[in-house]
Chain A
């Protein structure tokens, strides 16, 4: 009786996920092995061509570029987010909820609106240029909008709240006596951070990093808006295959690789979290 109850309770979620997550993924997987019809559509004959095409230097290059952008964004977001989370966790406890509220506040507005806002900020007559002029800078500003930098700024900005929340969790749970113990045993502030606090909060860092990386590598809205079509990320490529090039099988093959990369990272992250939380009890 007690054994079956969880199953009943999970059934709606399982049905939902199976119908709208597992089945579509399997369809995409299957699609990747079929031929593209001459006028779009699908020809149901088996082929490995789509898979091989993913490894074509042109597309592999886009994969690498996407991974680089995602990795850079995740790294920057983790550095900024960890520092913010550390400051929030160190604040008086009655103020922490307020600070967290402000950290996640941007989430309550629309993603597109927030990304469009960056166009206003970064374009030649935009806010950044305005401030530079106001400060007395009258030289030529480097091009900001429609660059790789703009895409990274947009991604970091959008996903930063996730990182703050992910890092805040382990930092706020840290027993303050542990940091004091390190001080007591002769460790300075930096040593205490590097050897005690940082290793103990690796799970939060890993969660934050993987989160930003996974969301960034598949993102197509930010590169389209802030990259201005100057360069493509994997998300844009997949989008193009399905909606403009009408090559569903190749789009499916690209998607499968993207999903595989994400799954691999999530597995690594789970592994890192388990390791950091200490080996399993033997008794």
Chain B
């Protein structure tokens, strides 16, 4: 994990007046599962296409294994891409689809066959080797697309929204499956996704992109617990925001209540204090407290989500009560309740 495999250095890409990628620097390490996370239009797909060789950067370098590959065409890069649409060849069987990339390497027939069989075992589709793509389910097609890229044993495997087309349950299974396969093959994966949960669950490290710029990168825990900006805090997970103003070293909310935060604002600055719903509690006396009226509750099985209207925030704030907490202290719509949270769980961002 410590050896750098890929260096992205000052890469830029413009389409007409649009700066799709506006100067990105990123190191990706050997054997890493890396996620590029961003909303649509953030530039994540453009960056991925540059890594695959379908777009040439207007400036900067893409260095793979110490070699600048930014101008090498896709068919000469040790990089493979699993397309969002899977892009399976409809006129070829599953086995022919997978063998295609090996045939391009002009490997001996016997070797191609054994590698195809081997990868079919990994994705557990050996019994469907003779089927055409349109005779497969969405999940099976996804695995064929993965196998077709993986069988080439690339230095770097790129996955463009690999789970986007699958239903929720299958997506959960495939997240773990992808991680298992990545470990087993020891190949560096870079996944592009707009789904922050997917990024957190699968990746060793996550980079958040916005408007073609790198906003923050780090482990899922770092990104979730220590978002570097208001945007990142809002984009990853759910966050409660309280508009505040700094007065004499304290953060004062709109209704005058004082909020203690782990990170300070500079003197007199306008900003927001932020806290995660799961950090709010009904029982623990902590530095911060706020009283409000329950406007809605939603039962999610795992937890009870309580929406609280308080004068300290323009939007109702959300707290998540675990099933056992909710049983110990029932909360109903219309109740007036006080919630507590610790200063160390509170972040403050300037506006």
Query: A186 to chain B: which residues have CB within 8 Å?
Result: 75-76, 101, 104-105, 152
A interface size (C-beta, 8 A): 23
Question: Main secondary structure on chain A at its contact with chain B?
Answer: helix
Query: A142 to chain B: which residues have CB within 8 Å?
Result: none
Query: B224 to chain A: which residues have CB within 8 Å?
Result: none
Shortest Cβ distance from residue B9 to the other chain A in the assembled complex, whole angstroms: 23
- Given contacts A177-B83, A186-B152, whether A278 and B91 have CB atoms under 8 Å apart is yes
Query: A138 to chain B: which residues have CB within 8 Å?
Result: none
A176-198 contacts to B (CB < 8 Å): 177-178, 180-188, 191, 195-196
Query: B101 to chain A: which residues have CB within 8 Å?
Result: 185-186
Is A185 within 8 A of B100, CB to CB? yes
Query: A279 to chain B: which residues have CB within 8 Å?
Result: 132, 135
B83-111 contacts to A (CB < 8 Å): 83-85, 87-91, 100-101, 104-105
> CB of B54 within 8 A of chain A?
yes
> CB of B251 within 8 A of chain A?
no
Q: Give the size range of B's interface with the partner.
A: 20 to 34
- Given contacts A180-B54, A187-B104, whether A175 and B87 have CB atoms under 8 Å apart is yes
Query: B217 to chain A: which residues have CB within 8 Å?
Result: none
Q: What are the interface flags for A252-265 relative to B under an 8 Å C-beta threshold, 1 for contact and 0 otherwise?
A: 00000000000000
- Given contacts A177-B85, A191-B104, A281-B135, whether A184 and B90 have CB atoms under 8 Å apart is no
- Given contacts A278-B132, A279-B135, whether A182 and B100 have CB atoms under 8 Å apart is yes
Name the residue on B nearest A276 (C-beta).
B91
Measured in the bound complex, the distance between the Cα atoms of B148 and A191 in whole Å is 17
Query: A185 to chain B: which residues have CB within 8 Å?
Result: 75, 80, 100-101, 104, 148-149, 152
> CB of B172 within 8 A of chain A?
no
Query: B148 to chain A: which residues have CB within 8 Å?
Result: 181, 185
Name the residue on A nearest B137 (C-beta).
A283
Q: What are the interface flags for B138-178 relative to A under an 8 Å C-beta threshold, 1 for contact and 0 otherwise?
A: 00000000001100100000000000000000000000000
- Interface CB pairs A-B, < 8 A, 22: A175-B85, A177-B84, A178-B89, A180-B74, A183-B54, A183-B73, A183-B74, A184-B74, A184-B75, A184-B80, A184-B81, A184-B149, A185-B104, A185-B149, A186-B75, A186-B101, A186-B104, A187-B100, A195-B100, A278-B90, A278-B91, A278-B134
Residues of A within 8 A of B (CB): 175, 177-178, 180-188, 191, 195-196, 199-200, 276, 278-279, 281-283
